[in-house]
Amino acid sequence: MGTEQRECVPGRPVGRRRARWREWTPLTLLAGAVLVGAVLWAAGRRGTADVVWAASTLVALVPAVWAVLRQLWRRRFGVDVIAVLALAGALLVGEYLAGAVIAVMVATGRALEAYAQGRATRDLRALLERAPRRARRRTPDGGIEVIGLDRVAVGDQLLVGPGDVVPVDGVLTAPATLDESVVTGESQLVGRAAGEQVPSGVVNAGAAVGLRATRDAAGSTYAGIVRLAREATAHRAPTVRLADRYAAAFVPFTLALAAVAGVWSGEFVRAVAVLVVATPCPLLLATPIAIVSGLSRVARRGVLVRDGGSLELLGRARTLLLDKTGTLTAGRPWAAETVVAPGGDRDEVLRLAASVEQLSPHVLAVALVRQARQRGLVLATPTEVTEEPGRGVSGRVDGRLVRVGQLGGDLPDWAELARDRAELAGWSTVWVSGDQGPLGAILLADPVRPDARRTVRRLREAGLSRLLLLTGDRPRTAEQVARLVGVDEVLARCSPQEKVDRVRRESRRAVTVMVGDGVNDAPALAAAHVGVAMGATGATGATASADVADAVITVDRLDRLADAVEIARHARRIAVQSAAVGMGLAVLAMLVAAAGRLPPVAGAFLQEGIDVLVILNALRALRGGLRRRDVPPTTRALLDRYAGQHAGVRDVLARVRDTADLVATRPTAEGCLPALRDTHRRLTDEVLPHADAEERQLYPALAGPLGGDEATATMSREHVEIHGLVDRIGGHLARADGRLHPDQVPDLLASLYGLDAVLRLHLAGEEEDYLSLDPAPPTPGS
């Protein structure tokens, strides 16, 4: 849709150029008139110079009077009245140069406002401008037709050409390279495999690729983002309305001070001087500029905030309530462990289960198929597939009957151990069976996001003092997640109504933010001061949450919440600072003018300088405020590489646990020593080289983003411990002369189980502290 994209926004660039011309042309003409008058004055033609300056003042006065009259008609009373009085007063007392400078000041304020608003809303505007309008659809006869986006239906086969914007949410029919920066905020190109879901709005950065539509245009991800962007650009921040209310006190004070100065001194020119330096029209623009700048910045980070009021509240928040599933956890199950019957093969059990589940839309089935494909397993096409609700799926794979789901009756010893392990860990169990009974069990977990703990720490540092976890899950599982991420309080088995009640209770104490992702979270999001929906990626629950939320995190990363809070606080701080400093300087100048120490001309130039200074200060909200450090591209590449190797390390880790169980239960069995040798070989060939390479390449590269070499010291110490335990296992193998001696078993078990614990902790720590720095950290086990 290269051409279609250009057709999306006909006339927009021209319209913006005309808008800029309308704002900057009056300023240019008025400034030119002031300079022409100055030249005439220097040439001795003072009468002509005064005429030029008076005309400039009158040119500015007429539209200013009209603006004030319109405000009064709408029952609004703003600070523009001061500018009108200052311009009129300058004409009455013959201070024509002062009047011309005031005219230039007012025009400068309008031009700076136009520039600042355009600069601050550039990212939001870009979202609107690049919204797709058309799609290429395959026809039954094999042709391609270009259709309007509103004609795309679920199931349509679309073609996305090079450089095209993906028009609707869909599933890729072939591998693709995508630019997801508009949706995720990250500029790095991403490779997606066939069968993966992709959201609308991303750009095809590779060859043409097929896409099967899974949602229509109105329900797709980018449509929701565009709706939020429109609302964000249409609403005014409460601080903008506060500026209008501020005029109710500032204008009477100004008029009273001007009157006192004129009456007390008997010089009307002093009253005019007070009005001149009190002209704060562009000054009060600094506050909304800072807020809109914050809206633009959070949009670049992949967070769409509905309006400036929500951003301002986010900057004042003190309490945060978090849903668990899909918010603190990934919301996508993955196979934490695959337990097999004695003599079985893990990969084969996973392949059989995924092959049967290929046709099932169930979330657990999708997880099994995704993980099997990630491991490179070749799935077979199942036959005679049947599904029993609540029981599972059965079918034939390569002529072999396979059942996946629940398992009834008595269980063999290994299966009972697997079931007990899953219950203790809070995991789900999917049994894989054949004609002869159970072949294995796949233990599924919903992992905590790798960036969750780091995000919670950043939120506390940003000023959120109370963090609570609300979930409908079991207390045991909820407590485990709470301890892991570090929240203050847990409310488990929580119904949607209980979530709403708790949000309302917390909202009475402080400004409260609620974060969730599902349909059941929508009422709680609506009840909070600021509701934040996680990942508007097309899921039904996410769409329902996004519809009522004040902000939507468009990328599936929790750390963007911390980014948004930090940016919101930064923007609000600058807004308050700009207003306080600017108005303080204006009041000080007014007092000096009332004392007769600041004539109107000098006051006009001074006020112009104050206004420009404060507006430029407000634009600082476009940068700064983030505590996190950006990771250089070379370091990101290293993080991607070593994150990809974690799947292999976890596979070896599973072998370590199996071998330990075998040594513990059957140390004299014929296959025990060969299994131990194979595990040791994989440790020395795969795990230790991975650890050594991290020490040489990854950890030094992380010194900058993490603030020094000491940040990786703990992980380096764990590498030393892993090496030592592998060496101990190797030492026992060297002593074994065809079998394990009884006196070796206790220390060998300590080494194997110790290695299992240290390696699990090490992988979790790396994923939380290091790999979560990458824009797209892996799901553990992927």
Catalytic residue set: 323
Q: Are 431 and 420 in contact (CB under 8 A)?
A: no
Which of 494, 555, 462 is CA-nearest to residue 183? 555
| DSSP letter assigned to residue 448 | B
DSSP annotation string for 576-640: HHHHHHHHHHHHHHHHHHHTT-S-HHHHHHHHHHHHHHHHHHHGGGGS----SPPPPHHHHHHHH
Q: How far is CA 747 from CA 44, 521, 532, 727, 754, in A?
A: 105, 50, 51, 12, 10
In the block, tokens 């990854």 appear at 698
Contact 578, 624 (CB under 8 A): no
Q: 59: which DSSP letter?
A: H
Half-sphere exposure of 504 (CA within 13 A, CB side): 9
594 token code pair:
């009332």
Q: How far apart are CA 762 and CA 776, in angstroms?
A: 20
Pairing of strands 530-534, 551-553: parallel
- Secondary structure of residue 147 in the 3-state scheme: strand
What residues are paired with 703 via a beta bridge?
A: none
Phi and psi, residue 198, nearest 5°: -130, 140
Give the CA count within 13 Å in the CB-facing half-sphere of 132. 36
Q: How far apart are CA 563 and CA 658, in angstroms?
A: 42
What's the token pair of residue 489?
């309080």
C-alpha 85/C-alpha 104 separation (Å) is 15
Strands, DSSP E only, in 499-541? 512-516, 530-534
48: burial class by Cβ within 10 Å (0-12, 13-18, 19+)?
middle
- Total Cβ atoms within 10 A of residue 291: 30
Beta bridge partners of 401: 396
The interaxial angle of helices 713-735 and 672-682, nearest 10 deg, is: 150
Instruction: Tell me if 28 sits within 8 A of 22, measured CB to CB.
Output: no
Residue whose C-alpha is closest to residue 164's, from 217, 209, 204, 212: 204
HEC readout, 102-143? HHHHHHHHHHHHHHHHHHHCHHHHHHHHCCCCEEEEECCCCC
- How many Å apart are CA 712 and CA 643, to the nearest integer? 16
Encoded tokens for 446: 């919903």
Q: Which of 516, 502, 624, 607 is nearest to 561 (CA)?
A: 516
Nearest to 323 by CA among 457, 503, 581: 503
For residue 11, what are its two tokens? 């006339």
CB 128 within 8 A of CB 226: yes
Contact 272, 97 (CB under 8 A): no
**Do the beta carbons of residue 542 and residue 283 sit within 8 Å?**
no
For the four alpha carbons of 487, 492, 495 and 500, in that order, the dihedral sign comes to negative
